[in-house]
Amino acid sequence: MSKHVHTYDALVVGGGGAGLMAAVYLTRQPGLRTAVLSKLYPTRSHTGTAQGGISASLGNMGEEDSWEWHAFDTVKGGDYLGDQDAIEIMCREAPEVVYDLEHMGLPFSRTDDGRIAQRRFGGHTQNYGESLVRRSCYAADRTGHMILQTLYQQSIKHGVRFFDEFQVVDLLIDDGGCRGAVALELRTGDLHVFRSKALVLATGGYGRIWEITSNAITLTGDGLFVSARCGIPLEDMEFFQFHPTGIWKLGFLITEGVRGEGGILRNSEGERFMERYAPSLKDLASRDVVSRAIYKEIRAGRGIDGRRYVHLDATHLGADVIEQKLPEIADFCRIYLGIDPVTDPMPVQPTAHFAMGGIPTDIHGAVLALDGSVIRGLYAAGECACVSVHGANRLGTNSLLDLVVFGRRAGIAMADHCAAAELLPVGDDPAGRARADLERLWATAGKDGEKAAEIRREMSELMMNNVSVFRTEELLIEAKEKLAELKERADRIAIDDPSRGFNLDLTEAWETQGMVVLAQVITECALHRTESRGAHSREDFPDRDDENWLKHTLAVLRDGTVEIGYKPVSFTRFEPKEGVS
Amino acid sequence: MRVKFKIYRYQPEVREEPYFDTFEFDAEPTDRVLDGLNHIRWQMDGTLVLRRSCQQGICGSDAMRINGANRLACKVLIGDVGAKITIEPLMGFRVIKDLVVDMDDFFEQYRSVLPYMITEKPPPEVERLQSPAEREVYDDTTKCILCAACTTACPSFWSNRDFVGPAAIVQAHRFIFDSRDEGTDERLEVLGERDGVWRCRTIFNCTEACPRDIKITRAIGEVKKAIALKGA
Ligand SMILES: Cc1cc2nc3c(=O)[nH]c(=O)nc-3n(C[C@H](O)[C@H](O)[C@H](O)COP(=O)(O)OP(=O)(O)OC[C@H]3O[C@@H](n4cnc5c(N)ncnc54)[C@H](O)[C@@H]3O)c2cc1C
Ligand code: SF4
Ligand code: FES
C-alpha cells in the first residue's frame, strides 16, 4: 500500500469551472468531506481564457427571450445530435445558475438599470431562428476569468480542501463501481491514493492533440485517457470544433466578436470569399462553415503568400471601435504579431477549439457504462464530459453554461449518493498500476529512446492534416496507420530527467502517451461515421444521413484496439430538419 | 536570430547549490520567451522545469524574472528583450526547482483578506442590481490573475515576508469597493493591521510589474484612504 492514503466522501478531479462548481455545491452539504485535486493551481485552469460570455434567456435587453428558443437553437446548432432532454434542462436552468453566479459575486457587466448585460452571439435567436437575440451574459471580455475567480473565491469561503498540483494518473474502478483515484504529487513525485464514495472528473478538453489549437498546453485529455483505460466508453469523439479564426501558428482565438463588429475574411486575392460560400450570412456563417471555407481557400492556393492562413480584415472599422470593443484582441495582435489591427489585417487559420465528445453521462453527471447502466460513484462534468448538450457542434457561450449547470447537478447528485453509500474497500496495492507506468518511464531517464516532444509534434501535425476540418477515408486510414506506429514509439519514450520532484519531463511523457491513444480513438470514430454532420465533415460523404446516423458513437478500448458501438439520441420536441447555413 | 538564454538552475536532488546554465540557439524575434524555454526543454535539456499553461497571458503560471524584471514569459517577445536573456525565478519565495517557486505563502496571504463576497441579506430571486457606475469602481482590480509578479517585485515584501503584499490588497480592493459586498469592516480590520497596507511605501514596483496593467498603487491608496476614513 502506498504510504499516502486519504479518505474523503467526495473527490473532484479538476479545478476549472466545472470542478469548482461541483465543489461549491458539495461543500454546502454539512458534514460531507470533499477535496479537489488539480494538476494546476485552480485559477490557472483554461476556463479563465473564455471571453465571449455565458448564455441564458434572461431577456434583460428589452427583447423577449425564452428557454424553449434557446433549446431549439442548441438542438439545431448541434445538427440534431444533442440529447434533447439534457438540452431542455440546461436551457431551463440557465437563468437560475446565472443568478446563482451573480449572488456569489460575479461582476457581470450591467445595463443602465443595473441588471446583467447581454449581447448577441452566433446562432442564438428569437422565435425559433427568426432573428438574433441578446442572450450572452458577460463580464467585459473576461467572462471565463470571472467565473473561475468567483468559484475559487466561493470554494475558499466554504473551506474546500485543495490538493493543488496533484495529477490524477489512474482511477480505482471495478465491477462494484469507482472507489477513488491515484494521483502524483508533482512537488515530491510521490503517489497518493484517494479513496472516495463519489468522484467527479472535470479535467477539461484535449485540443493539444492538434497542432494549431486555442487550448492550453496542459489540456491533454487526462481524464478521458484514465477513464478509457478502465473500460469506460467515450462518446462522439469524432466531433471536435475548429474555430475559424485562430491567430496563425499560435492558435489563440480571435473572438467571433471581430466579425460581429464587421470584420471581413479575405484571401490572397483580396476577395471576400465568404460571399461565395454563404451568400446570406457571409463572414458570420456558423463556425464549421467558415472553417471549411478557409480550408478550401488555403487548399486552392489562395492562402496569403501561399501560406496556411487568410486575412481577417478589421481596418475599415476604425480605431475607436477596435480600441473600445476589442481591446484584448488589439493587445494580442500588438504583443504577439507586432501588428496593429487598426492598420493591418490579422493572419488567421482554423484552430482546434472545443471537444463536443467525451465521457458519457446522464443528466445528473453520472457516468454511463457501455450497456447504459450507471457506474456507481463515478461522475463527469464540463468539457471532458458528454451529456450530450452540444451534439455535433457547440454554439458559442453554451460551454460555460454546460460547466455550471452540470457541474452543479453533479455536485448535488454526489452529495445525495454519499449520504446513502458506504465507502467501498480497495485492494492491497491500489497504486500498483500507476506506479508501474511511471516507474517504467523513470527508469528510462538518460537512456536512448523516443522523445516525447517529437512524438507530440508528429501526432499533432498528422491530426491537423488528416483528422481536422475535412476528412476522407483515405486520410483517415493513413492517420490510423501512422498513429499505430506512433503508439508503438510512444511506448518507447525515454526521458531526460531522473529526479522525483517536479518532473515535468515525466508528466509530459505520460500525457503524450495518453494523447496518442485518444488520437487513435478520434480517428477510428471519424472513420466509422460515413456522413457529414456539424463539425465532422467527410468529403467522401458530404451529406447528413439521418436515416443511418442519427445516433451517438461509443468507443471502447479493448486490448489496445478501439471497438465502436452506438446509442440512440434522445428526442423530446424538435424533429430533425435540414440545416440552412 | 541567435539567442543566448542564461537560466537560473536549482536541482536539489542532484546538486545542493543553485547555478546558472547557458543555452544558445536560433529563434525568431517574434517568438515568446516561453517558446524559447520550451525549445530548450524539448530539444536541448528536458530537466529544465517551469510552470506554464495558457501561453497567452491569462492563467498567471509563468511569472519570472526576465533580465531582472518580473514578467510573464508568454507575454514577452524575444525580439523585445534582446539576444542575451537572463531568466531567474521570482524573488522572495522559496525555490522548489529551477524556475518553480513555492506559492503556498502567496495563496495564504490571499486567503487572509477574505477574498470572497460577504453578504448578510438574502439575495433576491433574480440578480442584485448594480449600476454601471458602481460596477466601474472596482473593474480594474477584477483583472488580477494571481501571478504574484507584483508582490515579488515589492521591496517592502522582500524585507518583511509577513507583509500581506500588493496582490492580496488588489483582491481585497475588488470586494471593498463592490456595492454588493457587506464584509468591508472585517477586511479593513485585517488590512489595517501591522502587516497590512501600511507596509506599502508607494514604490510603484508592483504597478510596473503587473502584466494586466492594473493600477495597483492607486488601488492600495484607495484602501488606505478607506481605512483612514473608518478610523476617523
Ligand atoms: C480561448 C477559448 C475561449 C472560449 N470562450 C468561450 C466562451 O466565450 N463561452 C463559452 O461558453 N465557452 C468558451 N470556451 C469553452 C470553455 O471555456 C471551456 O470548454 C471550459 O472552460 C472548460 O472548463 P472545464 O472546467 O471543463 O475545464 P478547464 O477549465 O480546462 O479545467 C480543467 C481542470 O482539470 C485539471 N486537470 C486536468 N487534468 C488533470 C489531471 N490528470 N489530474 C488533476 N487535474 C487535472 C486542470 O488542472 C484544470 O483545473 C472557450 C474556450 C477557449 C479555449
Ligand atoms: S495585481 Fe497584477 S501583478 Fe499582482 S498578482 Fe494580480 S495580475 Fe499579477
Ligand atoms: S502561460 Fe498562462 S500566463 Fe503565461
- Calculate the alpha carbon distances from B107 to B63, B91, B152 in Å: 15, 16, 13
B176: how many CB neighbours lie within 10 A of its CB? 24
- B129 and B15 together in one domain: no
pLDDT of residue A580: 46
Quick one: which of B77, B4, B92, B12 has its CA closest to B49?
A: B12
Q: What length does chain A have?
A: 581
Higher pLDDT, A123 or B221: B221
- B187 and B86 together in one domain: no
- Calculate the alpha carbon distances from A103 to A207, A409, B201 in Å: 33, 18, 36
| pLDDT (average), residues A78-94 | 98
The reply to whether residue B58 touches residue A338, judged by beta carbons under 8 angstroms, is no
Chain B nearest-CA residue for A163: B104
The interface residues of chain B toward chain A in range 153-172, judged by CB-CB distance below 8 A, are: none
Q: Is B146 in the pocket of ligand 2 (CB under 6 A)?
A: yes
Distance between CA atoms of A109 and A118, rounded to whole angstroms? 8
Q: Three-state SS string across A340-368, please?
A: CCCCCCEEEEEEEEEECCEEEECCCCEEE
pLDDT of residue A429: 94
Quick one: which of B199, B185, B194 has its CA closest to B227?
A: B185
| pLDDT (average), residues A156-173 | 96
pLDDT of residue A486: 98
Distance between CA atoms of A442 and A213, rounded to whole angstroms? 30
The reply to whether residue A105 touches residue B135, judged by beta carbons under 8 angstroms, is no
| pLDDT (average), residues A381-407 | 97
- B141 and B96 together in one domain: no
- B43 and B139 together in one domain: no
- B120 and B198 together in one domain: yes
- Calculate the alpha carbon distances from A251 to A355, B56, B178 in Å: 16, 10, 36
Q: Whose CA is nearest to atom 2 of ligand 1?
A: A50
Q: If you measure from the C-alpha of residue B65 to the centroid of ligand 3, how many angstroms do you get, rounded to a whole number?
A: 14
Distance between CA atoms of A474 and A20, rounded to whole angstroms? 43
Strands A264-266 and A310-313: antiparallel
Q: Is B168 in the pocket of ligand 2 (CB under 6 A)?
A: no
- B115 and B6 together in one domain: no
The interface residues of chain B toward chain A in range 78-97, judged by CB-CB distance below 8 A, are: 79, 96-97
CATH of the domain at B81: 3.10.20.30
Query: Which residues does chain B have within 8 Å of residue A140's beta carbon, measured at their own beta carbons?
Result: 139
* A324 pLDDT higher than 80: no
pLDDT mean across residues, chain A: 95
Distance between CA atoms of A405 and A411, rounded to whole angstroms? 10
- B163 and B179 together in one domain: yes
Q: Pick from A49, A110, A115: which is nearest to B56 by CB? A: A49
In the sheet with A264-266, reading across from the earlier edge strand, the strands are A240-247, A346-355, A310-313, A264-266
Confirm whether pTM is higher than 0.90.
yes
Amino acid at the residue B14: V
CB A112 within 8 A of CB A88: no
* A178 pLDDT higher than 50: yes
Distance from CA of A152 to the nearest CA of B (A): 9
Distance from CA of B49 to the nearest CA of A (A): 6
pLDDT of residue A284: 83
Question: What per-residue string of b and e applies to B133-161 under the rule 16 or more CB within 10 Å gives b?
Answer: eebebbbbbbbbbbbbbbbbbbebbeeee
Ligand nearest to the CA of B211: 2
Q: Is the dihedral of CA A375, A379, A381, A384 positive or negative?
A: negative
Q: Pick from A115, A139, A149: which is nearest to B127 by CB? A: A115
- B63 and B108 together in one domain: no
- Which of B21, B39, B50, B58 is the best residue to mutate to test the A interface, defined by the most A CB atoms within 10 Å of its own CB? B58
- B81 and B170 together in one domain: no
* A558 pLDDT higher than 60: yes
Q: Whose CA is nearest to atom 1 of ligand 3?
A: B55
Instruction: Note whether B14 contacts A: Cβ–Cβ < 8 A.
Output: yes
Chain A nearest-CA residue for B35: A250
Q: Whose CA is nearest to atom 8 of ligand 2?
A: B147
- Calculate the alpha carbon distances from A294 to A192, A301, A538, B63 in Å: 47, 11, 16, 36
- B227 and B112 together in one domain: yes
For ligand 2, mutation pick of B216, B217, B220, B223 (most atoms within 8 Å of CB) = B216
Domain termination residue (choose one: B52, B85, B101): B101
Distance between CA atoms of B28 and B40, rounded to whole angstroms? 14
Domain termination residue (choose one: B56, B85, B101): B101
Residues with CB under 6 A from ligand 3: B 52-55, 57-62, 72, 74
The least confident of A137-141, A281-285, A304-308, A439-443 is A281-285
* CA atoms in the 13 A half-sphere facing the CB of A374: 14
- B118 and B215 together in one domain: yes
The band of A257, judged by pLDDT with boundaries at 50, 70 and 90, is: confident
| Torsion on CA atoms A147, A148, A151, A155, rounded to nearest 10 | -170
* CA atoms in the 13 A half-sphere facing the CB of A10: 33
Query: In this structure, what DSSP letter does residue A379 have?
Result: E
- B152 and B66 together in one domain: no
Domain residues for the domain of B60 are 2-101
Distance from CA of A250 to the nearest CA of B (A): 9
Distance between CA atoms of B196 and B163, rounded to whole angstroms? 6
CB A360 within 8 A of CB A233: yes
Ligand nearest to the CA of B166: 2
pLDDT of residue A400: 98
| pLDDT (average), residues A284-299 | 91
Structural domains in chain B (count): 2
Quick one: which of A534, A567, A533, A569 has its CA closest to A553?
A: A567
Catalytic status, residue A457: no
Quick one: which of A388, A382, A509, A543 has its CA closest to A441?
A: A509
Taking the CA atoms of chain A, what radius of gyration do you get in angstroms? 23
Amino acid at the residue A201: L
Residues with CB under 6 A from ligand 1: A 13-19, 37-40, 42, 45-47, 49-54, 143-144, 167-168, 202-205, 214-215, 219, 222-223, 253, 354, 382-384, 396-400, 403
Q: Angle of helix A84-103 relative to helix A398-420, nearest 10 degrees?
A: 90
Distance between CA atoms of B173 and B114, rounded to whole angstroms? 11
The interface residues of chain B toward chain A in range 137-156, judged by CB-CB distance below 8 A, are: 138-139, 142-143, 145-146
Exposure of A99 by Cβ count < 10 A (0-12 exposed, 13-18 middle, 19+ buried)? Answer: buried
- Calculate the alpha carbon distances from A360 to A228, A399, B171 in Å: 11, 16, 38
Q: If you measure from the C-alpha of residue A211 to the centroid of ligand 2, how many angstroms do you get, rounded to a whole number?
A: 31
Q: Three-state SS string across chain B, please?
A: CEEEEEEEECCCCCCCCCEEEEEEEECCCCCEHHHHHHHHHHHHCCCCCCCCCCCCCCCCCCEEEECCEEEEHHHCEHHHHCCEEEEECCCCCCEEECCEECCHHHHHHHHHCCCCCCCCCCCCCCCCCCCHHHHHHCCHHHHCCCCCCCHHHCHHHHHCCCCCCHHHHHHHHHHHCCCCCCCHHHHHHHHHCCCCHHHCCCCCHHHHHCCCCCCHHHHHHHHHHHHHHHHC
Distance from CA of A427 to the nearest CA of B (A): 32
Q: Is B216 in the pocket of ligand 2 (CB under 6 A)?
A: yes
pLDDT digits (tens, 9 = 90+) for A500-522: 999 999 999 999 999 999 999 99
Residues of chain B with pLDDT under 50: none
Q: Is B212 in the pocket of ligand 2 (CB under 6 A)?
A: yes
Look up residue A492 and give its three cell numbers.
518507447
Domain termination residue (choose one: B50, B77, B101): B101
Domains of chain A by start residue, with CATH: 248-349 (3.90.700.10), 432-543+552-559 (1.20.58.100)
Instruction: Kindly state the percentage of chain A with pLDDT values over 70.
Output: 99
Q: If you measure from the C-alpha of residue A576 to the centroid of ligand 3, how many angstroms do you get, rounded to a whole number?
A: 43
pLDDT of residue A322: 86
The reply to whether residue B77 touches residue A335, judged by beta carbons under 8 angstroms, is yes
The band of A2, judged by pLDDT with boundaries at 50, 70 and 90, is: low
Distance between CA atoms of A460 and A456, rounded to whole angstroms? 6
Q: How many CB pairs under 8 A join A and B?
A: 149
Quick one: which of A107, A28, A508, A69 has its CA closest to B175?
A: A107
Look up residue A464 and give its three cell numbers.
491537423
Supply angle C-alpha A311, A49, A380, rounded to 5: 120
- Helix ranges (H only) for A136-250 are 143-157, 222-229
Q: If you measure from the C-alpha of residue A136 to the centroid of ligand 3, how many angstroms do you get, rounded to a whole number?
A: 26
The reply to whether residue B128 touches residue A102, judged by beta carbons under 8 angstroms, is yes
* A581 pLDDT higher than 70: no
Q: Is the dihedral of CA A558, A562, A565, A566 positive or negative?
A: positive
Distance between CA atoms of A324 and A318, rounded to whole angstroms? 10
ipTM of the complex model: 0.97
Distance between CA atoms of A452 and A491, rounded to whole angstroms? 10
Distance between CA atoms of A225 and A518, rounded to whole angstroms? 7
Look up residue B125 and give its three cell numbers.
430571486
Q: If you measure from the C-alpha of residue B53 to the centroid of ligand 3, how many angstroms do you get, rounded to a whole number?
A: 5
- Among candidate residues A287, A376, A471, A529, the one labeled active-site is A287
CATH of the domain at B172: 1.10.1060.10
Look up residue B34 and give its three cell numbers.
516561453
Distance between CA atoms of B94 and B92, rounded to whole angstroms? 7
Q: Pick from B53, B58, B143: which is nearest to A218 by CB? A: B53
